[in-house]
Amino acid sequence: MKDIKPSLIIVPTLVGIVCTAVLAGINLLTQPAIREAENKTEVLAARQVLPEGFPEPVHTNFNGVDCFACFGEDGKILGLAIEGVTQKGYGGKIRLMAGFANGVVHNFKIIEARGETPGLGSKIKSDAFRLPLVNRKIGANWFLKKDGGELDAITAATISSRAALAALRDAIEKRNVAAGE
């Protein structure tokens, strides 16, 4: 076997170590900015899903559930905004923010739905999908007709419809835990 020159091992190893260190440093430097952007997205979504006229939502934790709450002048909770998540989307993860007030899902907004089929699965972000779900009672049946429920799926996007409802059910479950129900 021929002798391997040490430089053929040492140089690529050093280059790999330096590149890894540079990427790790960039990651550390950008993490605060990324987290700040995510927080702004969540706060904006919380504002959008809670009723107009409510006070500014405050990030808090009730019974181990991270959420945004709006408090009245008397200190009572007027509404909650809670994130719901599922991994069952057509393309993977779906995240949404759901707003709860007066025993109903006041509104919701899809925050993340990467990989949903453009033109089909992406319709879970549309008013045509969202509006029939708005102002439904928390205890309503949140399943598709195909699954024994009351709700219609988006035509040709059953998987995305199921996933969006799964994320909504996740938010409802978290809301019930936060409210101690």
Q: What are the pLDDT digits (tens) for 135-171?
A: 999 999 999 989 998 888 877 778 888 999 999 999 9
Count of domains observed in the chain = 1
Using DSSP, state whether 99 is helix, strand or coil.
strand
Q: What are the pLDDT digits (tens) for 59-106?
A: 999 999 999 999 988 989 999 999 999 998 888 899 999 999 999 999
51 or 116: which leads in pLDDT: 51
pLDDT for res 113: 83
Selection from 70, 147, 124, 75 nearest residue 101 by Cα: 70
Q: Cα(46)–Cα(59) distance, rounded to whole angstroms?
A: 10
**Residue 29 forms part of a structural domain:** no
Which residue matches tokens 């989307």? 89
**Residue 155 forms part of a structural domain:** yes
Going through the chain in order, the beta strands assigned E by DSSP cover 58-62, 65-71, 77-89, 92-101, 104-112, 136-137
Q: Mean pLDDT, the chain, as a whole number?
A: 88
pLDDT grade, residue 2 (50/70/90)?
A: low
pLDDT grade, residue 41 (50/70/90)?
A: confident
**Residue 172 forms part of a structural domain:** yes
Flag whether pLDDT at 134 surpasses 70: yes
pTM across the whole model = 0.78
Flag whether pLDDT at 11 surpasses 90: no
**Residue 4 forms part of a structural domain:** no
**Residue 93 forms part of a structural domain:** yes
**Residue 12 forms part of a structural domain:** no
Which pairs count as long-range contacts for 134-138, CB under 8 Å and 24+ apart, including other chains? 134/105, 134/106, 134/107, 134/108, 135/104, 135/105, 135/106, 136/104, 136/105, 137/103, 137/104, 138/100, 138/103, 138/104, 138/105, 138/172, 138/175, 138/176
Structure letter (DSSP) for residue 18: H
Domain hosting residue 103, numbered range: 47-178
**Residue 57 forms part of a structural domain:** yes
**Residue 160 forms part of a structural domain:** yes
In terms of C-beta density within 10 A (0-12 exposed, 13-18 middle, 19 or more buried), how is residue 158 classed? Answer: middle
Mean per-residue pLDDT, 93-120: 87
Q: Cα(174)–Cα(83) distance, rounded to whole angstroms?
A: 8
Mean per-residue pLDDT, 14-33: 89
